[in-house]
Protein backbone atom coordinates (compact mmCIF):
# COMPACT_ATOMS: atom_id res chain seq x y z
CA UNK A 1 0.00 0.00 0.00
CA UNK A 2 1.20 3.56 -0.59
CA UNK A 3 2.59 5.53 2.33
CA UNK A 4 0.24 8.04 3.95
CA UNK A 5 2.38 10.95 2.74
CA UNK A 6 2.44 9.80 -0.89
CA UNK A 7 -1.28 9.01 -0.81
CA UNK A 8 -2.10 12.48 0.50
CA UNK A 9 0.22 14.14 -2.02
CA UNK A 10 -1.24 12.10 -4.85
CA UNK A 11 -4.75 13.02 -3.79
CA UNK A 12 -3.99 16.75 -3.64
CA UNK A 13 -2.24 16.72 -7.02
CA UNK A 14 -5.02 14.65 -8.56
CA UNK A 15 -7.71 17.00 -7.30
CA UNK A 16 -5.83 20.01 -8.66
CA UNK A 17 -5.36 18.33 -12.02
CA UNK A 18 -9.07 17.47 -12.29
CA UNK A 19 -9.97 21.07 -11.40
CA UNK A 20 -7.54 22.38 -14.05
CA UNK A 21 -9.03 20.04 -16.66
CA UNK A 22 -12.54 21.17 -15.79
CA UNK A 23 -11.52 24.83 -16.08
CA UNK A 24 -9.76 24.26 -19.39
CA UNK A 25 -12.85 22.60 -20.85
CA UNK A 26 -14.89 25.80 -20.40
CA UNK A 27 -12.88 27.83 -22.92
CA UNK A 28 -13.96 28.48 -26.48
CA UNK A 29 -10.60 27.95 -28.20
CA UNK A 30 -11.73 28.98 -31.69
CA UNK A 31 -9.59 32.11 -31.82
CA UNK A 32 -6.75 30.86 -29.61
CA UNK A 33 -3.24 30.49 -31.03
CA UNK A 34 -2.03 27.01 -31.95
CA UNK A 35 0.43 27.21 -29.08
CA UNK A 36 -2.34 27.90 -26.56
CA UNK A 37 -4.54 25.18 -28.03
CA UNK A 38 -1.66 22.74 -27.69
CA UNK A 39 -1.14 23.68 -24.03
CA UNK A 40 -4.84 23.28 -23.27
CA UNK A 41 -4.92 19.90 -25.00
CA UNK A 42 -2.71 18.54 -22.23
CA UNK A 43 -5.52 19.34 -19.82
CA UNK A 44 -8.23 17.70 -21.92
CA UNK A 45 -8.47 14.61 -19.74
CA UNK A 46 -11.19 12.78 -17.82
CA UNK A 47 -10.37 10.68 -14.76
CA UNK A 48 -12.09 7.63 -13.36
CA UNK A 49 -14.60 8.03 -10.57
CA UNK A 50 -12.96 8.64 -7.19
CA UNK A 51 -13.27 5.06 -5.93
CA UNK A 52 -11.77 3.57 -9.09
CA UNK A 53 -9.04 6.22 -9.23
CA UNK A 54 -8.03 5.28 -5.70
CA UNK A 55 -8.17 1.59 -6.60
CA UNK A 56 -5.90 2.15 -9.60
CA UNK A 57 -3.48 4.19 -7.51
CA UNK A 58 -3.33 1.43 -4.89
CA UNK A 59 -2.85 -1.29 -7.53
CA UNK A 60 0.10 0.55 -9.06
CA UNK A 61 1.60 1.10 -5.62
CA UNK A 62 1.12 -2.55 -4.68
CA UNK A 63 2.70 -3.76 -7.92
CA UNK A 64 5.69 -1.47 -7.41
CA UNK A 65 6.05 -2.68 -3.83
CA UNK A 66 5.97 -6.36 -4.85
CA UNK A 67 8.57 -5.73 -7.52
CA UNK A 68 10.84 -3.67 -5.28
CA UNK A 69 10.77 -5.83 -2.13
CA UNK A 70 10.62 -9.45 -3.35
CA UNK A 71 13.43 -11.74 -2.21
CA UNK A 72 14.26 -15.10 -3.78
CA UNK A 73 15.45 -17.56 -1.14
CA UNK A 74 17.24 -20.92 -1.33
CA UNK A 75 19.76 -23.15 0.34
CA UNK A 76 23.07 -22.28 -1.32
CA UNK A 77 24.10 -25.35 -3.33
CA UNK A 78 27.77 -24.91 -2.35
CA UNK A 79 27.58 -23.85 1.31
CA UNK A 80 24.13 -25.25 2.21
CA UNK A 81 23.49 -21.98 4.02
CA UNK A 82 20.08 -20.38 3.51
CA UNK A 83 20.30 -17.16 1.53
CA UNK A 84 17.82 -14.58 0.24
CA UNK A 85 18.46 -12.25 -2.66
CA UNK A 86 16.85 -9.01 -3.81
CA UNK A 87 16.79 -8.18 -7.50
CA UNK A 88 19.38 -5.47 -6.80
CA UNK A 89 22.16 -6.20 -6.47
CA UNK A 90 22.26 -9.94 -5.77
CA UNK A 91 20.04 -11.46 -8.48
CA UNK A 92 21.24 -8.96 -11.07
CA UNK A 93 24.86 -9.84 -10.34
CA UNK A 94 24.08 -13.56 -10.46
CA UNK A 95 22.37 -13.26 -13.84
CA UNK A 96 25.30 -11.23 -15.21
CA UNK A 97 27.72 -14.09 -14.63
CA UNK A 98 28.29 -16.57 -17.44
CA UNK A 99 28.67 -20.33 -17.06
CA UNK A 100 26.47 -21.58 -14.22
CA UNK A 101 23.37 -22.87 -15.99
CA UNK A 102 21.60 -24.11 -12.85
CA UNK A 103 22.13 -20.90 -10.88
CA UNK A 104 20.61 -18.90 -13.73
CA UNK A 105 17.71 -21.34 -13.98
CA UNK A 106 16.97 -21.08 -10.27
CA UNK A 107 17.13 -17.28 -10.27
CA UNK A 108 14.98 -16.90 -13.39
CA UNK A 109 12.30 -19.28 -12.12
CA UNK A 110 12.31 -17.87 -8.58
CA UNK A 111 11.89 -14.30 -9.84
CA UNK A 112 9.23 -14.97 -12.46
CA UNK A 113 7.24 -17.29 -10.22
CA UNK A 114 7.62 -15.12 -7.12
CA UNK A 115 6.93 -11.76 -8.74
CA UNK A 116 4.90 -12.53 -11.87
CA UNK A 117 2.37 -14.73 -10.11
CA UNK A 118 1.71 -12.12 -7.42
CA UNK A 119 1.34 -9.41 -10.05
CA UNK A 120 -0.97 -11.26 -12.44
CA UNK A 121 -4.36 -10.56 -10.72
CA UNK A 122 -3.36 -6.97 -9.95
CA UNK A 123 -2.21 -6.40 -13.50
CA UNK A 124 -5.41 -7.77 -15.04
CA UNK A 125 -7.47 -5.36 -12.95
CA UNK A 126 -5.05 -2.54 -13.87
CA UNK A 127 -5.72 -3.32 -17.55
CA UNK A 128 -9.49 -3.07 -16.99
CA UNK A 129 -9.20 0.29 -15.22
CA UNK A 130 -6.71 1.77 -17.67
CA UNK A 131 -8.87 0.72 -20.62
CA UNK A 132 -11.92 2.29 -18.99
CA UNK A 133 -10.05 5.54 -18.36
CA UNK A 134 -8.70 5.58 -21.92
CA UNK A 135 -12.20 5.15 -23.35
CA UNK A 136 -13.49 7.99 -21.16
CA UNK A 137 -10.92 10.12 -22.97
CA UNK A 138 -11.94 9.08 -26.47
CA UNK A 139 -9.38 6.35 -27.13
CA UNK A 140 -10.23 2.84 -28.26
CA UNK A 141 -8.16 1.34 -25.43
CA UNK A 142 -5.07 2.08 -23.35
CA UNK A 143 -2.70 0.85 -26.06
CA UNK A 144 -4.32 3.28 -28.48
CA UNK A 145 -3.70 6.06 -25.95
CA UNK A 146 -0.02 5.10 -25.71
CA UNK A 147 0.42 5.05 -29.48
CA UNK A 148 -1.22 8.41 -30.01
CA UNK A 149 1.44 10.08 -27.88
CA UNK A 150 3.39 9.89 -31.14
CA UNK A 151 0.69 11.97 -32.86
CA UNK A 152 -0.01 9.47 -35.63
CA UNK A 153 -2.53 6.73 -36.31
CA UNK A 154 0.15 4.75 -38.18
CA UNK A 155 2.33 3.85 -35.20
CA UNK A 156 1.89 0.09 -35.58
CA UNK A 157 2.88 0.26 -39.24
CA UNK A 158 5.84 2.55 -38.51
CA UNK A 159 7.42 0.25 -35.93
CA UNK A 160 6.99 -2.84 -38.07
CA UNK A 161 8.47 -1.10 -41.12
CA UNK A 162 11.49 -0.04 -39.07
CA UNK A 163 12.02 -3.51 -37.65
CA UNK A 164 11.84 -5.20 -41.05
CA UNK A 165 14.88 -3.16 -42.07
CA UNK A 166 17.02 -4.16 -39.07
CA UNK A 167 15.80 -7.74 -38.63
CA UNK A 168 18.50 -9.26 -40.89
CA UNK A 169 21.19 -7.69 -38.69
CA UNK A 170 19.48 -8.98 -35.53
CA UNK A 171 19.26 -12.51 -36.94
CA UNK A 172 22.98 -12.51 -37.72
CA UNK A 173 23.69 -11.41 -34.14
CA UNK A 174 21.26 -14.02 -32.76
CA UNK A 175 22.97 -16.85 -34.69
CA UNK A 176 26.40 -15.71 -33.53
CA UNK A 177 25.35 -15.53 -29.86
CA UNK A 178 23.63 -18.92 -30.08
CA UNK A 179 26.91 -20.45 -31.26
CA UNK A 180 28.77 -18.84 -28.34
CA UNK A 181 26.20 -20.14 -25.86
CA UNK A 182 26.48 -23.58 -27.46
CA UNK A 183 30.24 -23.48 -26.99
CA UNK A 184 29.75 -22.48 -23.34
CA UNK A 185 26.88 -24.73 -22.21
CA UNK A 186 26.97 -27.61 -24.67
CA UNK A 187 24.52 -29.37 -27.04
CA UNK A 188 22.26 -30.66 -24.25
CA UNK A 189 21.43 -27.07 -23.29
CA UNK A 190 21.58 -25.15 -26.60
CA UNK A 191 19.90 -26.13 -29.88
CA UNK A 192 21.80 -24.62 -32.80
CA UNK A 193 18.54 -24.28 -34.75
CA UNK A 194 16.34 -23.21 -31.86
CA UNK A 195 15.45 -20.11 -29.88
CA UNK A 196 17.75 -18.88 -27.11
CA UNK A 197 16.97 -19.82 -23.48
CA UNK A 198 15.73 -16.63 -21.80
CA UNK A 199 17.77 -17.17 -18.62
CA UNK A 200 21.20 -17.25 -20.30
CA UNK A 201 21.27 -13.80 -21.91
CA UNK A 202 22.92 -11.76 -19.18
CA UNK A 203 20.03 -10.27 -17.24
CA UNK A 204 16.72 -11.36 -15.73
CA UNK A 205 14.74 -10.68 -18.90
CA UNK A 206 17.12 -11.22 -21.82
CA UNK A 207 16.83 -7.52 -22.59
CA UNK A 208 20.46 -6.41 -22.76
CA UNK A 209 23.08 -8.95 -23.83
CA UNK A 210 26.15 -6.93 -22.81
CA UNK A 211 27.08 -9.37 -20.07
CA UNK A 212 27.70 -12.01 -22.74
CA UNK A 213 30.59 -9.97 -24.08
CA UNK A 214 33.14 -12.13 -22.26
CA UNK A 215 32.17 -15.17 -24.39
CA UNK A 216 31.19 -13.24 -27.53
CA UNK A 217 34.09 -10.82 -28.01
CA UNK A 218 35.44 -11.36 -31.56
CA UNK A 219 39.13 -10.89 -30.77
CA UNK A 220 39.68 -11.64 -27.06
CA UNK A 221 43.45 -11.45 -27.38
CA UNK A 222 43.24 -7.77 -28.30
CA UNK A 223 43.30 -4.99 -25.67
CA UNK A 224 40.01 -4.73 -23.80
CA UNK A 225 37.72 -1.76 -24.37
CA UNK A 226 36.18 -2.20 -20.89
CA UNK A 227 37.74 0.42 -18.60
CA UNK A 228 36.28 -1.04 -15.36
CA UNK A 229 39.67 -2.32 -14.08
CA UNK A 230 41.27 1.05 -14.82
CA UNK A 231 38.43 2.83 -13.00
CA UNK A 232 39.22 0.73 -9.93
CA UNK A 233 42.98 1.34 -10.30
CA UNK A 234 42.41 5.10 -10.50
CA UNK A 235 40.20 5.01 -7.38
CA UNK A 236 37.07 6.21 -9.14
CA UNK A 237 34.16 6.85 -6.79
CA UNK A 238 30.48 7.17 -7.61
CA UNK A 239 30.68 10.93 -7.14
CA UNK A 240 33.62 11.15 -9.52
CA UNK A 241 31.64 9.17 -12.11
CA UNK A 242 28.85 11.74 -11.98
CA UNK A 243 31.29 14.65 -12.00
CA UNK A 244 32.96 13.18 -15.10
CA UNK A 245 29.58 12.77 -16.76
CA UNK A 246 28.59 16.33 -15.90
CA UNK A 247 31.87 17.57 -17.40
CA UNK A 248 31.12 15.71 -20.65
CA UNK A 249 27.98 17.82 -21.08
CA UNK A 250 29.56 21.12 -20.07
CA UNK A 251 32.46 20.50 -22.49
CA UNK A 252 29.86 20.83 -25.26
CA UNK A 253 28.61 24.14 -23.87
CA UNK A 254 25.59 22.48 -22.30
CA UNK A 255 24.24 23.21 -18.81
CA UNK A 256 25.86 21.91 -15.61
CA UNK A 257 23.67 20.22 -13.02
CA UNK A 258 22.64 22.57 -10.18
CA UNK A 259 24.31 22.40 -6.78
CA UNK A 260 21.15 20.93 -5.27
CA UNK A 261 21.57 17.88 -7.52
CA UNK A 262 24.51 16.71 -5.41
CA UNK A 263 22.65 17.20 -2.11
CA UNK A 264 19.26 15.75 -3.02
CA UNK A 265 19.98 12.87 -5.41
CA UNK A 266 20.39 9.26 -4.25
CA UNK A 267 23.46 8.15 -6.18
CA UNK A 268 24.35 5.05 -4.15
CA UNK A 269 22.33 2.39 -2.35
CA UNK A 270 21.85 3.46 1.28
CA UNK A 271 23.77 1.44 3.85
CA UNK A 272 21.35 2.06 6.71
CA UNK A 273 19.12 -0.92 5.91
CA UNK A 274 16.40 1.03 4.09
CA UNK A 275 14.60 -0.76 1.27
CA UNK A 276 14.82 1.44 -1.82
CA UNK A 277 13.99 1.10 -5.51
CA UNK A 278 17.33 0.84 -7.30
CA UNK A 279 16.06 1.16 -10.86
CA UNK A 280 17.99 4.12 -12.27
CA UNK A 281 15.66 7.07 -12.80
CA UNK A 282 15.93 10.82 -13.43
CA UNK A 283 13.45 13.20 -11.82
CA UNK A 284 12.12 16.66 -12.67
CA UNK A 285 10.32 18.37 -9.79
CA UNK A 286 8.91 21.10 -12.05
CA UNK A 287 10.22 24.12 -10.17
CA UNK A 288 12.89 24.81 -12.79
CA UNK A 289 15.77 24.10 -10.43
CA UNK A 290 15.31 20.76 -8.65
CA UNK A 291 16.52 17.84 -10.77
CA UNK A 292 17.65 14.56 -9.26
CA UNK A 293 18.81 11.03 -10.05
CA UNK A 294 17.99 7.93 -8.03
CA UNK A 295 20.46 5.14 -8.74
CA UNK A 296 22.34 2.44 -6.81
CA UNK A 297 25.54 3.15 -8.72
CA UNK A 298 28.51 0.78 -8.69
CA UNK A 299 32.02 1.58 -9.92
CA UNK A 300 31.80 -0.40 -13.15
CA UNK A 301 31.74 0.73 -16.77
CA UNK A 302 28.14 -0.33 -17.39
CA UNK A 303 27.00 1.99 -14.61
CA UNK A 304 29.31 4.72 -15.93
CA UNK A 305 27.39 4.52 -19.22
CA UNK A 306 24.09 4.70 -17.33
CA UNK A 307 25.35 7.79 -15.47
CA UNK A 308 25.81 9.56 -18.82
CA UNK A 309 22.39 8.33 -19.95
CA UNK A 310 20.63 9.60 -16.82
CA UNK A 311 22.40 12.94 -17.07
CA UNK A 312 20.94 13.17 -20.57
CA UNK A 313 17.47 13.21 -19.05
CA UNK A 314 18.60 15.87 -16.58
CA UNK A 315 20.02 17.96 -19.43
CA UNK A 316 16.72 17.72 -21.31
CA UNK A 317 14.83 18.81 -18.15
CA UNK A 318 17.09 21.81 -17.65
CA UNK A 319 16.98 22.91 -21.30
CA UNK A 320 13.17 23.07 -21.45
CA UNK A 321 12.67 24.30 -17.85
CA UNK A 322 11.66 27.77 -19.13
CA UNK A 323 8.72 26.33 -21.09
CA UNK A 324 5.13 26.41 -19.77
CA UNK A 325 4.52 23.43 -17.49
CA UNK A 326 2.66 21.35 -20.07
CA UNK A 327 5.55 21.66 -22.52
CA UNK A 328 8.16 20.45 -20.01
CA UNK A 329 8.59 17.05 -21.56
CA UNK A 330 10.41 15.48 -24.46
CA UNK A 331 9.13 15.76 -28.02
CA UNK A 332 8.08 12.19 -27.31
CA UNK A 333 9.26 9.56 -24.84
CA UNK A 334 11.63 8.09 -27.42
CA UNK A 335 13.40 11.45 -27.77
CA UNK A 336 13.98 11.62 -24.03
CA UNK A 337 15.54 8.17 -24.02
CA UNK A 338 17.59 8.82 -27.18
CA UNK A 339 19.41 11.84 -25.79
CA UNK A 340 20.88 9.97 -22.85
CA UNK A 341 21.75 6.90 -24.90
CA UNK A 342 23.36 9.09 -27.55
CA UNK A 343 25.67 10.72 -25.01
CA UNK A 344 26.50 7.39 -23.37
CA UNK A 345 27.47 6.05 -26.80
CA UNK A 346 29.82 8.95 -27.54
CA UNK A 347 31.35 8.63 -24.08
CA UNK A 348 31.95 4.89 -24.69
CA UNK A 349 34.05 5.24 -27.84
CA UNK A 350 37.66 4.16 -27.59
CA UNK A 351 38.61 7.65 -28.82
CA UNK A 352 36.94 9.29 -25.83
CA UNK A 353 38.07 6.75 -23.24
CA UNK A 354 41.63 7.11 -24.51
CA UNK A 355 41.29 10.90 -24.23
CA UNK A 356 40.23 10.84 -20.56
CA UNK A 357 42.87 8.27 -19.58
CA UNK A 358 40.67 5.25 -18.97
CA UNK A 359 41.96 3.31 -21.98
CA UNK A 360 45.19 3.13 -23.91
CA UNK A 361 44.34 1.08 -26.98
CA UNK A 362 45.78 1.43 -30.48
CA UNK A 363 43.87 2.19 -33.66
CA UNK A 364 43.17 -1.40 -34.69
CA UNK A 365 40.32 -2.80 -36.86
CA UNK A 366 40.07 -5.84 -34.57
CA UNK A 367 39.60 -3.58 -31.54
CA UNK A 368 36.98 -1.68 -33.55
CA UNK A 369 35.11 -4.94 -34.17
CA UNK A 370 35.20 -5.74 -30.46
CA UNK A 371 33.72 -2.30 -29.78
CA UNK A 372 30.99 -2.68 -32.41
CA UNK A 373 29.98 -6.10 -31.10
CA UNK A 374 29.72 -4.68 -27.58
CA UNK A 375 27.55 -1.84 -28.89
CA UNK A 376 25.32 -4.32 -30.72
CA UNK A 377 24.84 -6.36 -27.54
CA UNK A 378 23.63 -3.16 -25.92
CA UNK A 379 21.34 -1.96 -28.73
CA UNK A 380 20.57 -4.35 -31.59
CA UNK A 381 19.69 -7.14 -29.15
CA UNK A 382 17.06 -4.92 -27.52
CA UNK A 383 15.07 -4.02 -30.65
CA UNK A 384 12.81 -7.09 -30.95
CA UNK A 385 12.58 -7.30 -27.15
CA UNK A 386 11.20 -3.77 -26.82
CA UNK A 387 9.01 -4.22 -29.88
CA UNK A 388 7.25 -7.33 -28.59
CA UNK A 389 6.86 -5.95 -25.06
CA UNK A 390 4.49 -3.35 -26.48
CA UNK A 391 3.00 -4.92 -29.59
CA UNK A 392 1.87 -7.78 -27.34
CA UNK A 393 0.45 -5.36 -24.77
CA UNK A 394 -1.33 -3.45 -27.54
CA UNK A 395 -3.04 -6.71 -28.52
CA UNK A 396 -3.88 -7.45 -24.89
CA UNK A 397 -5.35 -3.99 -24.30
CA UNK A 398 -7.48 -4.50 -27.43
CA UNK A 399 -8.80 -7.76 -26.04
CA UNK A 400 -7.29 -9.79 -28.87
CA UNK A 401 -5.95 -12.56 -26.61
CA UNK A 402 -8.12 -14.92 -24.52
CA UNK A 403 -7.46 -14.57 -20.81
CA UNK A 404 -6.47 -18.22 -20.42
CA UNK A 405 -3.92 -17.87 -23.24
CA UNK A 406 -2.20 -14.66 -22.17
CA UNK A 407 1.12 -16.11 -21.00
CA UNK A 408 1.32 -18.80 -23.67
CA UNK A 409 0.60 -16.20 -26.33
CA UNK A 410 3.27 -13.88 -24.89
CA UNK A 411 5.96 -16.55 -25.12
CA UNK A 412 4.76 -17.59 -28.57
CA UNK A 413 5.22 -14.02 -29.77
CA UNK A 414 8.64 -13.88 -28.10
CA UNK A 415 9.63 -17.09 -29.89
CA UNK A 416 8.39 -15.81 -33.23
CA UNK A 417 9.95 -12.34 -33.17
CA UNK A 418 12.82 -12.44 -30.66
CA UNK A 419 13.86 -16.08 -30.99
CA UNK A 420 13.80 -16.59 -27.20
CA UNK A 421 12.02 -19.21 -25.10
CA UNK A 422 11.39 -19.73 -21.36
CA UNK A 423 13.80 -22.24 -19.79
CA UNK A 424 11.04 -24.13 -17.96
CA UNK A 425 7.36 -24.80 -18.52
CA UNK A 426 4.96 -22.04 -17.55
CA UNK A 427 1.50 -22.36 -16.01
CA UNK A 428 -1.06 -20.45 -18.12
CA UNK A 429 -3.39 -20.11 -15.14
CA UNK A 430 -0.78 -18.67 -12.76
CA UNK A 431 1.92 -16.98 -14.80
CA UNK A 432 2.02 -13.63 -16.54
CA UNK A 433 5.74 -13.29 -17.09
CA UNK A 434 5.65 -9.96 -18.93
CA UNK A 435 4.75 -8.24 -15.65
CA UNK A 436 8.03 -9.23 -13.95
CA UNK A 437 9.95 -6.27 -15.37
CA UNK A 438 9.98 -2.77 -13.89
CA UNK A 439 8.39 -0.92 -16.79
CA UNK A 440 5.35 -3.17 -17.13
CA UNK A 441 4.32 -3.27 -13.48
CA UNK A 442 5.04 0.46 -13.10
CA UNK A 443 2.81 1.53 -16.02
CA UNK A 444 5.40 2.52 -18.63
CA UNK A 445 5.36 1.67 -22.30
CA UNK A 446 8.57 0.24 -23.77
CA UNK A 447 8.18 1.26 -27.41
CA UNK A 448 10.02 4.42 -26.30
CA UNK A 449 13.20 2.29 -26.11
CA UNK A 450 12.61 0.83 -29.54
CA UNK A 451 12.09 4.28 -31.05
CA UNK A 452 14.95 5.83 -29.11
CA UNK A 453 17.44 3.45 -30.73
CA UNK A 454 16.61 4.77 -34.20
CA UNK A 455 16.50 8.39 -33.01
CA UNK A 456 19.84 7.89 -31.26
CA UNK A 457 21.68 6.98 -34.44
CA UNK A 458 19.96 9.71 -36.46
CA UNK A 459 20.99 12.29 -33.88
CA UNK A 460 24.50 10.84 -33.73
CA UNK A 461 25.01 11.17 -37.47
CA UNK A 462 24.02 14.85 -37.43
CA UNK A 463 26.02 15.78 -34.33
CA UNK A 464 29.10 14.05 -35.74
CA UNK A 465 28.80 16.26 -38.81
CA UNK A 466 28.42 19.33 -36.59
CA UNK A 467 31.53 18.28 -34.64
CA UNK A 468 33.50 18.04 -37.89
CA UNK A 469 34.07 14.31 -37.52
CA UNK A 470 35.50 12.39 -40.47
CA UNK A 471 35.77 8.64 -40.75
CA UNK A 472 33.57 5.81 -39.47
CA UNK A 473 30.60 6.87 -37.34
CA UNK A 474 31.52 4.45 -34.57
CA UNK A 475 34.70 6.47 -33.97
CA UNK A 476 32.84 9.76 -33.51
CA UNK A 477 33.14 11.57 -30.18
CA UNK A 478 31.58 15.04 -29.81
CA UNK A 479 33.24 15.74 -26.45
CA UNK A 480 34.42 19.38 -26.40
CA UNK A 481 32.35 20.26 -29.51
CA UNK A 482 30.29 23.34 -28.71
CA UNK A 483 28.92 23.25 -32.28
CA UNK A 484 27.39 19.84 -31.57
CA UNK A 485 26.20 21.08 -28.18
CA UNK A 486 24.53 24.13 -29.70
CA UNK A 487 22.70 22.02 -32.29
CA UNK A 488 21.48 19.60 -29.63
CA UNK A 489 20.42 22.37 -27.22
CA UNK A 490 18.22 24.00 -29.86
CA UNK A 491 16.20 20.81 -30.14
CA UNK A 492 16.09 20.14 -26.40
CA UNK A 493 14.74 23.61 -25.66
CA UNK A 494 11.61 22.89 -27.70
CA UNK A 495 10.47 20.33 -25.12
CA UNK A 496 6.95 19.21 -26.05
CA UNK A 497 5.96 22.59 -27.49
CA UNK A 498 6.01 21.21 -31.04
CA UNK A 499 5.18 17.83 -32.61
CA UNK A 500 8.16 15.48 -32.57
CA UNK A 501 8.51 15.80 -36.33
CA UNK A 502 9.28 19.52 -35.85
CA UNK A 503 11.89 18.70 -33.23
CA UNK A 504 13.42 16.10 -35.54
CA UNK A 505 13.58 18.65 -38.34
CA UNK A 506 15.16 21.25 -36.05
CA UNK A 507 18.12 18.93 -35.46
CA UNK A 508 18.37 16.77 -38.57
CA UNK A 509 16.74 18.85 -41.31
CA UNK A 510 14.15 16.20 -42.13
CA UNK A 511 10.95 14.93 -40.49
CA UNK A 512 11.04 11.12 -40.75
CA UNK A 513 12.47 8.45 -38.52
CA UNK A 514 15.05 6.44 -40.44
CA UNK A 515 16.78 3.08 -40.00
CA UNK A 516 19.67 3.89 -42.37
CA UNK A 517 21.89 5.76 -39.84
CA UNK A 518 21.80 2.74 -37.53
CA UNK A 519 22.51 0.35 -40.40
CA UNK A 520 25.37 2.55 -41.63
CA UNK A 521 26.91 2.57 -38.16
CA UNK A 522 26.85 -1.23 -37.84
CA UNK A 523 27.62 -2.15 -41.47
CA UNK A 524 31.19 -3.34 -40.69
CA UNK A 525 29.83 -5.59 -37.93
CA UNK A 526 27.05 -6.95 -40.13
CA UNK A 527 29.57 -8.01 -42.78
CA UNK A 528 31.82 -9.59 -40.15
CA UNK A 529 28.93 -11.49 -38.49
CA UNK A 530 27.69 -12.79 -41.83
CA UNK A 531 31.15 -14.10 -42.73
CA UNK A 532 31.63 -15.64 -39.27
CA UNK A 533 28.25 -17.39 -39.34
CA UNK A 534 28.95 -18.79 -42.82
CA UNK A 535 32.34 -20.03 -41.64
CA UNK A 536 30.72 -21.82 -38.69
CA UNK A 537 27.87 -23.20 -40.81
CA UNK A 538 25.32 -21.58 -38.50
CA UNK A 539 21.62 -21.48 -39.25
CA UNK A 540 20.22 -17.94 -39.56
CA UNK A 541 16.87 -17.77 -37.79
CA UNK A 542 15.29 -20.36 -35.51
CA UNK A 543 12.82 -23.22 -35.58
CA UNK A 544 9.81 -22.62 -33.35
CA UNK A 545 8.39 -25.56 -31.38
CA UNK A 546 4.74 -26.14 -32.38
CA UNK A 547 3.37 -25.24 -28.94
CA UNK A 548 4.97 -21.80 -29.25
CA UNK A 549 3.35 -20.86 -32.55
CA UNK A 550 1.20 -17.76 -32.28
CA UNK A 551 -2.49 -18.19 -32.97
CA UNK A 552 -3.40 -14.78 -34.33
CA UNK A 553 -7.10 -15.56 -34.66
CA UNK A 554 -9.54 -17.18 -32.28
CA UNK A 555 -13.27 -17.72 -32.07
CA UNK A 556 -15.26 -14.45 -32.23
CA UNK A 557 -17.22 -15.30 -29.08
CA UNK A 558 -13.95 -15.69 -27.14
CA UNK A 559 -12.67 -12.37 -28.44
CA UNK A 560 -15.91 -10.63 -27.48
CA UNK A 561 -15.78 -12.24 -24.03
CA UNK A 562 -12.22 -11.02 -23.52
CA UNK A 563 -13.05 -7.50 -24.68
CA UNK A 564 -15.97 -7.37 -22.27
CA UNK A 565 -13.71 -8.51 -19.43
CA UNK A 566 -11.29 -5.70 -20.26
CA UNK A 567 -14.06 -3.14 -20.38
CA UNK A 568 -13.95 -2.65 -24.15
CA UNK A 569 -16.65 -2.04 -26.71
CA UNK A 570 -15.74 -4.55 -29.48
CA UNK A 571 -17.02 -2.39 -32.31
CA UNK A 572 -15.32 0.79 -31.15
CA UNK A 573 -13.04 2.49 -33.71
CA UNK A 574 -9.85 4.32 -32.87
CA UNK A 575 -10.36 8.09 -33.07
CA UNK A 576 -8.47 10.34 -35.43
CA UNK A 577 -5.04 11.53 -34.31
CA UNK A 578 -5.12 14.10 -31.57
CA UNK A 579 -2.61 16.16 -29.64
CA UNK A 580 -0.72 14.38 -26.90
CA UNK A 581 -2.51 14.72 -23.60
CA UNK A 582 -0.89 15.33 -20.27
CA UNK A 583 1.30 12.42 -19.25
CA UNK A 584 -0.45 12.36 -15.85
CA UNK A 585 -4.05 11.44 -15.20
CA UNK A 586 -5.33 9.63 -12.13
CA UNK A 587 -1.87 8.52 -10.98
CA UNK A 588 -0.09 11.82 -10.32
CA UNK A 589 3.67 11.50 -9.97
CA UNK A 590 6.88 13.40 -10.77
CA UNK A 591 8.02 12.82 -14.34
CA UNK A 592 10.64 10.11 -14.44
CA UNK A 593 12.36 8.59 -17.39
CA UNK A 594 13.38 5.01 -16.79
CA UNK A 595 16.46 3.46 -18.21
CA UNK A 596 18.34 0.23 -18.17
CA UNK A 597 17.89 -2.58 -15.75
Has 249 been labeled as part of a binding site?
no
Alpha-carbon distances, residue 227 vs 357, 416, 423 (angstroms): 9, 37, 33
Residue 489 to residues 33, 198, 510: CA-CA distances in angstroms?
A: 25, 40, 17
Distances (CA, A) of 558 to 132, 428, 554, 572, 582: 20, 16, 7, 17, 34
CA 130, CA 56: separation in Å to the nearest integer? 8
Kindly state the DSSP code that residue 433 receives in the 8-state scheme. Answer: G
User: Which one, of 306, 349, 340, lies nearest residue 521 by Cα?
Assistant: 349
Asked if residues 558 and 22 have their Cβ atoms less than 8 Å apart, the reply is no
Residue 337 counted as an annotated binding residue: yes
CA dist 258 and 288 (Å) reads 10
For β-strands 420-421 and 196-197, DSSP reports them as: parallel
308 is in an annotated binding site: no
CA distance to 199, 209, 286, 296, per residue, from 214 (Å): 17, 11, 42, 24
Beta bridge partners of 283: 292, 592
Q: Decide: helix, strand or coil at residue 292.
A: strand
Q: Report the distance separating Cα 67 and Cα 225, nearest Å.
A: 34
336 is in an annotated binding site: no
Active site residue 90: no
Residues in the chain: 597
199 is catalytic: no
Task: Give, for 563, the enclosing helix (H) or strand (E).
Answer: helix 556-565
- Has 150 been labeled as part of a binding site? yes
Q: Strand, helix or coil at 109?
A: helix
**Distance from C-alpha of 178 to C-alpha of 539, rounded to nearest angstrom:** 10
Q: How far apart are the first and last CA of the chain?
A: 24
Q: What is the separation of C-alpha 456 from the centre of its chain, rounded to a whole number of angstroms?
A: 13
Answer whether 577's CB lies under 8 Å from 148's CB: yes
Catalytic residue among 18, 133, 310, 461: 310
Farthest-apart Cα atoms in the chain, separation:
75
How many CB atoms are closer than 10 A to CB 541?
12
Q: Is the peptide bond before 89 cis (omega within 30 degrees of 0)?
A: yes
Catalytic annotation, pick one of 199, 439, 469, 593: 439
C-alpha angle 395-145-49 in degrees, rounded to nearest 5: 105
Q: Point out which residues pair with 75 in neighbouring strands.
A: 82
Annotated binding residues, written as ranges, equal: 150, 309, 313, 337, 448
* Residue set of the binding site for chloride: 150, 448
Which residues sit in the known binding site for Zn(2+)? Answer: 309, 313, 337
Q: Which residues are part of the catalytic machinery?
A: 310, 439
Amino acid sequence: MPTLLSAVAGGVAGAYYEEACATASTFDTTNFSEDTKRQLSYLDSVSLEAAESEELYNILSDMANIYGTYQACRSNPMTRVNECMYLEPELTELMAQVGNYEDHLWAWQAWHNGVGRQLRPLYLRYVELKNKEAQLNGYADYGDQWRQKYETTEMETIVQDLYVQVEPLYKQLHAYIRRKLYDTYGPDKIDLRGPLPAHLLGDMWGRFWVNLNSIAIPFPEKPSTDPSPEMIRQNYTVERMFQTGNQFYTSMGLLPVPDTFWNLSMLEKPTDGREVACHATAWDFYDGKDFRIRMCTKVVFEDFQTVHHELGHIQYYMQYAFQPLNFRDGANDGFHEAVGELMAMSFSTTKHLNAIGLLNVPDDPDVDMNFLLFQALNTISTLPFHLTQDTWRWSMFRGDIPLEELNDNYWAEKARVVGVAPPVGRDPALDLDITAIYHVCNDFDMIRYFMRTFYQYQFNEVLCQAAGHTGPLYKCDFYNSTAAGDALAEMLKLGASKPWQDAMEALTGQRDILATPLLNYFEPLRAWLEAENIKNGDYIGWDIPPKQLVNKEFAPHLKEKMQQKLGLSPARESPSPRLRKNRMSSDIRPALHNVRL
